[in-house]
Amino acid sequence: MITHSSRKVKEGKIVKVEVDCEDVIKKLKITGDFFLHPEDVLDDIEKTMVGLKKDVSFETLFLKIDDIVKNNDARMIGISPESIAEVLREALK
Amino acid sequence: MRWRVIGLETHDAYLNMAIDEAISEGIRAGSSPPTIRFYNWEPGAVSIGYFQGIRDEVNLEVCRELGVDCIRRWTGGGAVYHDSGGELTYSVIAPAGVFPKNIIESYRLICGWIIRGLGILGIEAEFRPVNDILVKNKKISGSAQTRRGGILLQHGTLLYGLDLKTMFSVLNVSRQKITDKMIKSAEERVTCVQMYRDAGKEDVYEALLKAFTEGKGYEFGTWSGDELARAKELAEEKYRSEEWTYLR
């Protein structure tokens, strides 16, 4: 089943999440008008979420995204690992 | 450091965005100089940010009807309607080390050149982080930046005129929903040079040119054959491709 969630997050930009999920996340697409340097980090974030259980906690999502951002020395503008995790968690409901 | 300045020229969306990428590649390879360029879009186009979904943001059917091109940018940020006559676009492409490492500070620096240009025209403007310039609290300019392979590319637009009806019809808001109220509300948030000055587009370009080059070593230049060939290749093979357009 494909579900969506989108929101203007507190850092100022729009985050939209489309997730294809049954028992586990099969596919995930994050879009929006934010900035992320380097840009390819978003692909890593999307790939890392695949396989996680539908009821994965916000904390786990946040820590995984935060890890990727830190490991890549990535800079987010208008979004944050926390905001992405929030919108994703909402899409998984 | 000496900048190359490319005076106001007009291309379609695909070549405009491809030139920015080709020059970034050239600077990285040591074959292109740091470059400041000014340009128009013909035909008009909608550009979307690198992370946006084109179907989400753009009314593709209306674009087709109006002959407005649709393109995914190499930079993040939001969807922009590039009106052929209603805006002026710039790109600054140079080694990232020339600019502050802090991204907001680098926006502030380059946006400061636009603010200076508006000042030359007698329009007082201010930088609003992340990437906007406001006049009396209304947006007049937006910019977007990418830093890849050690090269910083920042491009952005300065609104010269406003065609809100077309803007709303090509962006993904259904035509039935484009109410007077919506136009009025947008007019309260967006503005353009013509609202404040009876200046020709050429005057606006001259003011920006002066502000962007002030205090810099520069010379007017042209594209090399290799740069143009690479840009044309990127325009055809990347920017016009469905794979790129529908990437997200």
DSSP class of residue B176 equals G
The pLDDT, as a whole number, for residue B178 is 63
The pLDDT, as a whole number, for residue B184 is 77
Question: Measured between beta carbons, which residues in chain B are less than 8 angstroms from residue A34?
Answer: 49, 51, 76-77
Does the ipTM surpass 0.90?
A: yes
Question: Measured between beta carbons, which residues in chain A are less than 8 angstroms from residue B131?
Answer: 35
List pLDDT tens digits, range B198-217. 999 999 999 999 999 999 99
List pLDDT tens digits, range B73-85. 999 999 999 999 9
List pLDDT tens digits, range B60-70. 999 999 999 99
The pLDDT, as a whole number, for residue B181 is 75
* CA nearest neighbour of A36 among A3, A88, A81, A77: A77
For chain A, the domain total comes to 1
CB-closest option in A31, A32, A75 to B103: A75
CB-closest option in A33, A38, A78 to B52: A33
The pLDDT, as a whole number, for residue B175 is 55
Do residue A35 and residue B130 have CB atoms under 8 angstroms apart?
Answer: yes
The pLDDT, as a whole number, for residue B174 is 53
CATH topology of domain B2-243: BirA Bifunctional Protein; domain 2 (3.30.930)
The pLDDT, as a whole number, for residue B168 is 87
Distance in angstroms (rounded) separating the CA atoms of residues B200 and A74: 42
The pLDDT, as a whole number, for residue B35 is 98
- Going from the C-alpha of B153 to that of each of B21, B71, B114, B216, the distances in angstroms are 8, 17, 16, 18
CATH number at residue A36: 3.30.390.50
The pLDDT, as a whole number, for residue B185 is 79
List pLDDT tens digits, range B91-118. 999 999 999 999 999 999 999 999 999 9
Domain boundaries, given as residue ranges, for chain B: 2-243
| Count of beta carbons in the 10 Å neighbourhood of residue B209 | 20
A64: containing domain: 2-91
Mean local confidence (pLDDT), A38-59? 96
Do residue A39 and residue B148 have CB atoms under 8 angstroms apart?
Answer: yes
